[in-house]
Structure 1
């Protein structure tokens, strides 16, 4: 009896699901595929109709005091609670797969510089609407209609808005907030890269255009909502 010595391929660690498992599930011609896309639409719909500005004040919930621990917690949670920031980071992972992923991680440092600018010169008019417009810019970068270098001012603008909740805090809590923010965004970006890499390989140009269109639609909707509000 011949025993197979074939070893499974992939870079996933023992006990962790391979990212190819997710891509094969999403793109397999099974009966469950329509339900998966329906579930994704149901998850995305609250993001489209929610107001991203509501999530930009996590530090104000429960009247959080400017302490080191509260700064870290607020920084960790903020990218997950802001739908515009979350969507920007997820789409950034797709851009990173087209470029070098290290360049995308470096953008997070630019975001911190934008946060420092927000603490030094607060009160930029229309900042929320401009942040929403960065999703349109990112969609055009995904379609290679704009150069990726335009994401530098885009993520700096995100960092500017992210500094609003901690304006007026002392130096150490603000530094803790920045550390939590960098850790949260970096972890989210790395996980998204790990999950989306096999999916991106199977993504047709037509599907990429649909994704970019959805991204631009969210940005446009939120921009009009911010200007109207």
Structure 2
């Protein structure tokens, strides 16, 4: 009977470990590929409410850098007291970042800082960092501004209606992904009192995110160092 009580946790751990092993090479390959699109409608500017919503819903998913970071935010929130505040801070800051881009304010090094944010949050998750809630939320907000600034590139020139639906779309997707990651993290923690066991899958995922962040960062640094061939 004691075995049965541990089966739900064991099943979750096995599933997460398998997902990590399968997704790691895929994420690393995609993260190193600059050709991987960030647009759901073929790079065209949305012209309708539906196109804006579709582009917004898809952007955080088909942009592997954004997708990886939102997962990192949710998982790190699950091991942080009142961690949901960091999720809220990230989503709100992403909206602000998009507005800054649309206001033609220049933020330097956006892609570098996005890559660094994945690396940082993956590292914090892997080492089980217990930073204060305000520190995690602050870091999430700073990262959110740069992720949101990148989101803004896909909506430049759009009308108010598609812009509004685009903002709703990417905010909803980020919320769903982050809350799902938070739920998985909390399930692992709540179903066992042995921290070393429950944190193992989270540490593994954190290390994978570090690898993804390093891959993006290396790609960006190479692009900066080497002249672009016309």
* TM category, shorter: 0.7 to 0.9
- In structure 2, the residue matched to 1:77 is 58
Task: Give the superposition deviation at 1:74.
Answer: 0.6
Distance 1:176 1:185, change over 3 A: same
Structure 1 gap segments, 5+ residues each: 1-19, 28-32
Task: Give the superposition deviation at 1:168.
Answer: 1.7
What whole-Å deviation, never above 9, does each CA across 1:186-225 have from its counterpart, x for those lacking one?
Answer: 1222222223311244552565544333322211111111
> How many Å separate the matches in 2 of 1:59 and 1:210?
30
Distance 1:59 1:226, change over 3 A: same
> How many Å separate the matches in 2 of 1:116 and 1:84?
20
Structure 2 gap segments, 5+ residues each: 1-5, 224-230
TM-score, structure 2 normalization:
0.75
Distance 1:22 1:47, change over 3 A: farther
TM-score, structure 1 normalization:
0.76
Instruction: Check if 1:135 corresponds to 2:124.
Output: no
Task: Give the superposition deviation at 1:160.
Answer: 0.8
Distance 1:223 1:145, change over 3 A: farther
Task: Give the superposition deviation at 1:140.
Answer: 4.0
CA contact (8 A) 1:139 1:216 kept: yes
**Higher CA-based Rg:** 1
> How many Å separate the matches in 1 of 2:36 and 2:105?
18
> How many Å separate the matches in 2 of 1:55 and 1:66?
23
What SS class does the counterpart of residue 58 from structure 1 fall into? coil
How many correspondences in the alignment?
A: 205
